[in-house]
Amino acid sequence: MRRLLLGSGIVPTGLLVVCSVNPALAQAVRPMEGVKCIERVASLKPPRISLPVRRAVEGKGQEVTRARKLAPVCPEGQVPVTAFPTKRHFIKGNPMIGGYATPGPARVLPGAVVNHLLLPFDQVYWKRDRRPAERGPGPAAASGDPPCDGVPWFGSCFYYATASEQRVADGGGMTFQIEDPAVDNSGDAGGHSIGEIAVMNMGTAGTNLNDVEMGFSVSPDQFGDSHPHLFIYHWIDGNETCYNTCGWNQYSNTYSPGMDLTPLVGQAVYIGWVHWQGAWWGWFNDQWLGYVDDSEWKGGFTRTDQIQWYGEVASNNGIPPKTNMGDGLFPSQSTAAGMATLCDVDARAWVCWYRDQQSVGATRVNYYDILNHTNFGAVRYGGPGQ
The number of residues making up the chain comes to 386
E strand or H helix at 122, and its extent?
helix 121-124
CB 288 within 8 A of CB 251: yes
Percentages helix, strand, coil for the chain (3-state, rounded to 5) are 5, 35, 60
- Strands 151-153 and 53-56, how do they pair? unpaired
Q: Burial code of 111-122, b = ≥16 C-beta within 10 A, e = fewer?
A: beebbebbbebe
pLDDT of residue 33: 61
Q: Average pLDDT for residues 38-59, to the nearest whole number?
A: 95
pTM, to two decimals? 0.89
Residue 135 banded pLDDT, cuts 50, 70, 90: very low
Give the model confidence (pLDDT) of 229-281 as tens digits. 999 999 999 999 999 999 999 999 999 999 999 999 999 999 999 999 999 99
CB 161 within 8 A of CB 382: yes
Q: SS3 of 132, please?
A: coil
**Euclidean distance between CA atoms 18 and 264, whole angstroms:** 9
pLDDT of residue 327: 98
Query: Given its phi and psi angles, is residue 139 left (phi above 0), alpha (psi -120 to 50 degrees) or beta?
Result: beta
Residue 145 banded pLDDT, cuts 50, 70, 90: low
Give the model confidence (pLDDT) of 80-121 as tens digits. 999 999 988 899 999 999 999 877 778 888 999 999 999 999
**Euclidean distance between CA atoms 334 and 378, whole angstroms:** 13
Write down all domains in the chain, each with its CATH number in brackets.
111-382 (2.60.120.200)
The residue that leads in pLDDT, 367 or 22, is 367
pLDDT of residue 61: 86
Q: SS3 of 161, please?
A: strand
**Euclidean distance between CA atoms 177 and 238, whole angstroms:** 29
Q: SS3 of 8, please?
A: coil
**Euclidean distance between CA atoms 241 and 12, whole angstroms:** 36
